[in-house]
Copies of this chain bind each other. A is one copy, B any other.
Amino acid sequence: MIKRVGKQTICTENKPKIISTMSVVGPKEGEGPLKDYFDIILQDDTDGQKSYEKAESSIANRAINECIKKANLKEDDINYLIAGDLLNQLTASNFAVRSLSIPYIGVYGACSTMALSLGLAAMIIAGDFANYALAATSSHFSTAERQFRTPLEMGSQRSPTSQWTVTGAGAMLLGRNGNFPYISYVTTGKVKDYGESDPNNMGAAMAPAAVDTIKQHLQDTGRKPSDYDIIATGDLGKHGKEITEKLLLEYNYDIKNRYIDCGVEIYDLKKQNVNCGGSGCGCSAVVTSGYIYKNMLKGKFKRVLLVSTGALMSTTSYQQGETIPGIAHAVSIEFGGQSR
């Protein structure tokens, strides 16, 4: 009766389908290696708005609206919209949603928000509470930089372990029917804090959470890493990715041959001056909505484990000497039969 396996994972009986996705990215992301997978590439990262914050809301709004249109549905058909972002009090999402007449659930998991919102949307469909539920997240380099770090005008030097917040919004619309990639399992993460306190090294702060959630997901489902074509962490970056791979080996999980990090994939780390790679709620959102989903439709990936990762700090917690707790949520997406 209870739709659960193991300790932290739910299984879906009716297999919520991802019936459409939409990715909107900024110019820099549109020059990266995944450019061909994005639906909309902005020429101007202000999207014609007067502030970067308004721009982020505008981009998020576009992703949501276009995602609904792509599925040939109307706003009124959508039972729930689950969204979140990095801005204080979720204003990017709140203002993106303001013009929409859809019941709204605001969520915050820092950069883990895409998997968090997608997992909740899957539970809403799998719990028979809705016909359609939409999950969306966004981030913007210029809103994040000035909120979390320094005014852009300062032109501060960036540390080698720093990451570049993705300007982009991703939306994924779940429904009950149709032949689409579907969500089979959702593993909700726990907060993990191993004492990392450098806000310019978030990959290291989030890696233990990614390790914990991947390990727990595999234990709960009885799957092996090789049961997945792709295991994709959200935005650990180059450094956090190395840590994750290494730590998982200590638990005898070798994910090397199928492991990607959305933050590493989205930019050309050698040419695009992003240090360890991309970050932000929008990072795993657009990589999943774009690259991963489209490759699943093509049959290239049959089973993907999305593990978005978040660093749960604020400038206040940092200034008060706190360490950086991390969290990771995992969603298993499948299409076209078992991969092996």
- A residues bordering B, Cβ < 8 Å? 1-4, 8, 10, 50-51, 53-54, 79-80, 84, 86-91, 94-95, 97-98, 100-110, 116, 120, 123-124, 126-131, 147, 188-191, 193, 312-317, 320, 322, 325, 327
Contact = CB atoms under 8 A, between A and B. Distances in A.
A327 B104 contact: yes
Contact of A313 (B84, B89, B127): B89
Contacts of A8: 103
Given A127-B127, A131-B2, A316 B103 contact: no
B91 A317 contact: yes
Which has the most chain B C-beta neighbours within 10 Å: A8, A97, A105? A105
A107 B110 contact: no
A105 B107 contact: yes
Contact of A94 (B116, B188, B325): B325
B128 A2 contact: yes
A10 B130 CA distance: 9
B129 A87 contact: no
A101 B190 CA distance: 6
A193 B4 contact: no
B89 A312 contact: yes
Contact of A91 (B2, B123, B312): B312
A45 to B, nearest CB: 17
B188 A80 contact: yes
12 contacts: A2-B131, A8-B103, A50-B320, A54-B320, A89-B314, A100-B190, A103-B188, A104-B189, A104-B190, A106-B107, A108-B108, A127-B128
Counting from the closest, the 8 A-B pairs by CB-CB distance are A127-B127, A103-B188, A94-B312, A89-B314, A88-B88, A106-B108, A88-B314, A91-B314
A53 B320 contact: yes
Given A91-B317, A103-B190, 12 more contacts: A2-B131, A4-B130, A8-B103, A88-B315, A91-B314, A98-B193, A102-B190, A104-B190, A105-B109, A106-B109, A123-B129, A127-B128
Nearest to A116: B105
Contacts of A322: 95
A108 to B, nearest CB: 4
Contacts of A108: 84, 89-90, 106-108
A14 to B, nearest CB: 9
A190 B3 CA distance: 29
A129 B4 contact: yes
A123 B116 contact: no
B127 A3 contact: yes
Contacts of A127: 3, 123-124, 126-129
Contacts of A51: 320
Contacts of A84: 108
Which has the most chain B C-beta neighbours within 10 Å: A88, A101, A147, A313? A88
A88 B129 contact: no
Nearest to A117: B105
B120 A105 contact: yes
A315 B53 CA distance: 12
